[in-house]
Structure 1
Amino acid sequence: MPRDTRVDTYIAGRAEFAQPILGWMRERVHAACPEVEESIKWSMPAFTYKGKPVANMAAFKVHATFGFWDRQALATGKEGEAMGQYGRIESLDDLPSAEIFETQVRDAVARIDAGQKPVRAAKAPKPEAEVPAELAEALAGDAKAAETFTGFPPGCRREYCEWIAEAKRPETKAKRVAEAVDWIREGKRRNWKYENC
């Protein structure tokens, strides 16, 4: 596949230590999977195969990184030291051999061919938002708004509670409570103005 000139520009614009690292990783990806496509995603070089993300790489002031999209399945043991699977890459010595690297790229591509989706760790549910006393009092006096508020999803309730709780002055808090109760009574979410943008 043709190389993306934006990736050339990205590599050329990085620190001197990072250029050979990024170039080496790029060549290994192409050697392992000649059909891989390059692009710039999230402001960094990214590799895709059959339209599915495989990996990305980046360089910072004193280190570079390389990360597989299916990070749980392709773990290397250095996760958490920096973004990606290989921790903080400061020189070519911080990378595995070309054979190991290319095998991991082929494994990532094989997972795409097999239709396997990346496994992500389950997120712990956020706790229910604490309803500010002012809002609780206002809802207690408006049965329709209280019923609608209770029927909202937890995230929607949380947005209203946080918006009111973050008000510093009592006048601001009172104004927000009044607006919130009106909107809630109408079945509107906190950011209803932006839902159809």
Structure 2
Amino acid sequence: MAMAVDPRIDAYIAGQADFAQPILRHLRGLIHAASPDIAETVKWGMPFFTYRDKNLCNMAGFQRHVAFGFWHDKVAPDGSRGEAMGQFGRIRRLHDLPDDAMIAALLRKAMALIEAGDEPRSGVKRPRAPLPLHPAFSAALNADPAAAATWAGFPPGKIRDYCE
């Protein structure tokens, strides 16, 4: 399968600051060198790279830095996020990036996680514990079946608004 190039990413890179363009082109080349099955697209206004239709990594240019990061939290070298978007902090020049071999290894790790069906932790929402009802409010609901039915139909956020 040939490298899938999206002309929107060409335009995105061309529209970035002069310092950012070589960084973004370099990252794009490394990503595509990792596998011919990596596709590129634009999501949330920035270049995203997908593997087997799952988000693999993304890059973005800002006024004074570039950001690059992996979608899966287990790919980060130390298991955490950087001080900026992505795992590598604010990238201002090519030298700020990890070496090419490390990026290639991280790309392989991210692809292996996708192949294994491992989902990123950040995509899992944990339900919040219900807040206690004030006794007087609970008594009022018990006394009025119509109000209790309306209350039961509220989404969790609206219930929290009343309880807090």
- Alignment partner of 1:45: what SS? strand
Q: CA offsets per residue over residues 34-83 of structure 1, 9 Å max, x none?
A: 21001111100010111111011101111111111102x11234624001
CA–CA distance in 2 between the matches of 1:122 and 1:86? Answer: 25
Contact 1:129/1:157, CA 8 A, preserved across alignment: no
CA–CA distance in 2 between the matches of 1:115 and 1:50? Answer: 11
Q: Over alpha carbons, which structure has the higher Rg?
A: 1
Aligned counterpart for 2:111 among listed residues 109, 112, 116: 109
Quote the offset at 1:125 in angstroms: 2.6
Higher relative contact order (CA 8 A, sep 6+): 2
CA–CA distance in 1 between the matches of 2:141 and 2:4? Answer: 65
Equivalent residue for 2:8?
Answer: 6
Q: In structure 1, list runs of 5 or more residues that go unmatched.
A: 166-197
- Alignment partner of 1:26: what SS? helix
CA RMSD, 1 decimal:
2.9
CA–CA distance in 2 between the matches of 1:67 and 1:92? Answer: 15
- Alignment partner of 1:85: what SS? coil
Quote the offset at 1:113 in angstroms: 1.6
The answer to whether residue 22 in structure 2 is matched with residue 24 in structure 1 is no
CA–CA distance in 2 between the matches of 1:117 and 1:11? Answer: 29
- Alignment partner of 1:157: what SS? helix
Quote the offset at 1:5 in angstroms: 0.7
Matches within 5 A, 1:48-87: 48-71=50-73, 73-77=74-78, 79-87=81-89
- Which letter maps to 2:128? P
CA–CA distance in 2 between the matches of 1:110 and 1:8? Answer: 28
Equivalent residue for 2:44?
Answer: 42
Q: TM-score of the superposition, structure 2-length normalised?
A: 0.81
Q: TM-score of the superposition, structure 1-length normalised?
A: 0.68
Quote the offset at 1:26 in angstroms: 0.5
CA–CA distance in 2 between the matches of 1:125 and 1:113? Answer: 31
Equivalent residue for 2:148?
Answer: 147
Contact 1:76/1:86, CA 8 A, preserved across alignment: no
- CA 1:13–1:110 in structure 2 vs 1: closer, same or farther (change >3 Å)? same
Q: In structure 2, list runs of 5 or more residues that go unmatched.
A: none
Give the paired residue count: 158
Quote the offset at 1:127 in angstroms: 6.7
Q: Stretches of 4+ moved more than 4 A in 1?
A: 121-124, 139-142, 150-153
